[in-house]
Amino acid sequence: MKIEHVAFWVKDLEEMKSFYEKYFGAISNEKYHNTVKNFESYFLSFENGSRLEIMTRPDIQEGNGSFEAQKFGITHLAFSTGSKEKVDEMTELLRNDGYKVVGEPRTSGDGYYESVILDPENNIIEIIK
């Protein structure tokens, strides 16, 4: 078994697509648009074969807007860089480009060297060694 893809709703489909392409090397398919359901999505593919589906529809309700408010369901995405230096480098790149760093690079209690940032819609992203 393997996870084929993970999907989540987004407000700004194009901004989110650009973010994952620019910082995490995602390759996007052509936009899917179902005019009957007013649904649009992209599949973003990564070098190792994993995929992320980002979707939007005008009737989807926004949460409370706080990344700190935990809820049942997916909590974060983690991207592996392969080295501590790359974690530090990506963290600084994202910080300098205006993204919020909510966890500075460190070795976590479970042994990961990681930092934590928020994507454009406040989804939690771990950048790990």
Residue-wise pLDDT tens digits, 9-65: 999 999 999 999 999 999 999 999 999 999 999 999 999 899 999 999 998 877 655
pLDDT at residue number 125? 96
Q: Cα separation of 60 and 20, whole Å?
A: 21
Residue-wise pLDDT tens digits, 79-113: 999 999 999 999 999 999 999 999 999 999 989 99
Whether the model pTM is above 0.85 = yes
Write down all domains in the chain, each with its CATH number in brackets.
1-58 (3.10.180.10), 76-129 (3.10.180.10)
How many residues are there in the chain? 129
Q: Say if residues 22 and 63 touch (Cβ distance below 8 Å).
A: no
pLDDT at residue number 113? 97
Q: Does residue 71 register a pLDDT over 80?
A: no
